[in-house]
Amino acid sequence: MRPFAYQRATDPSSAVQALAAAAPANDPLTVAAIQPLAGGTTLVDLMKLDVMRPSTLVDINPLAGMWSAIDAGGGNLRLGALARMSDVAANPDVQRNYPVVADSLKLAASPQLRNMATLGGNVLQRTRCTYFRDVSFSNCNKRIPGSGCAALDGANRSHAVLGTSEQCIATYPGDFAQALIALDAAVEITGKSGVRSLPFDQLHKQPGNSPQIETILAPGELISAFRIPGQWPRSVYLKARDRQSYEFALASAAVALDVQDGIVRDARVALGGVATVPWRAREAEALLKGRKFDENLASRAAEAAFAGGKPRRHNAFKIALGQRVVARALHQAAAMEV
């Protein structure tokens, strides 16, 4: 690991001041010299691998007193960005009214990592692409812009089929973000000039020609909270993976339904493990809405979700697997007693 200076933030304003210091505005946040330290489960790991090389860490854990509340009052949900994954997963209000949120967190990582990792850090988790994580590979546009992508013709079984470009096919690895994007969450961002809020589906950027840019966050900005409007008791997070626990998704689905008298009034479908960013399957949702829910409808929606899928040599199975995961998640949600 390279040397770094360790600083401890005392309040949000000192944290964003420290993070913005000496950072060129056009620098991608992922390579910023000053990085925030929350749970550290991604950052410290990638620093050990020499993938991330900050010269200063600003420990924002002291802000947890202000930024870790779980507020389910008033029929909406507000989650502080420094809430730990395990605490949110275990919250009775979240479990009852937002099972897709609770399960997306519970099925991620291990108990130890969930005790450490924060919600804000979790949505910014970096890809598990081997060619990104292993610096001995010289071709990775995410790590070294312009160097190429070793995954395009490499071992790409775990890579994305949606939202890819010729520059990058790295999979977005998280689970919780799929629940957020499905439920129309907003992300609250604290910066030097105050707090701004924007739809969560605008936070991440597809790789396009700049895979090193992963979010719209500017230097000095920190995610401070997430807000989910309404309640979604009929919701499911289903995750298919190589082993039953403690593994990243090969394909996952976050599904939420509002069904009345057998008719789908509203439907939300998001996909994990198959796309370069948290992925909202709006084509599938459009197909479901206003129709009577049955097996055939679920299958057609699942097909629609992957209509734009672009498989590579080793990951074509993800399209069939992903479709089955979506269809099964829809069935499970429709069958829930709420």
Which spans of this chain sit near another protein (rule: CB under 8 A)? 1, 3-10, 14-15, 17-18, 21, 34, 37, 40-41, 44-45, 48-49, 55-59, 61, 86, 109-113, 115-116, 244-246
Distance in Å, CB of 34 to another protein, minimum: 8
Nearer of residues 37 and 105 to another protein, judged by Cβ: 37
Distance in Å, CB of 99 to another protein, minimum: 17
Nearer of residues 240 and 287 to another protein, judged by Cβ: 240
Distance in Å, CB of 199 to another protein, minimum: 30
Nearer of residues 110 and 209 to another protein, judged by Cβ: 110
Nearer of residues 49 and 335 to another protein, judged by Cβ: 49
For the CA atoms of the chain, what is the radius of gyration?
Answer: 19
Distance in Å, CB of 116 to another protein, minimum: 5
Distance in Å, CB of 45 to another protein, minimum: 5
Distance in Å, CB of 304 to another protein, minimum: 33
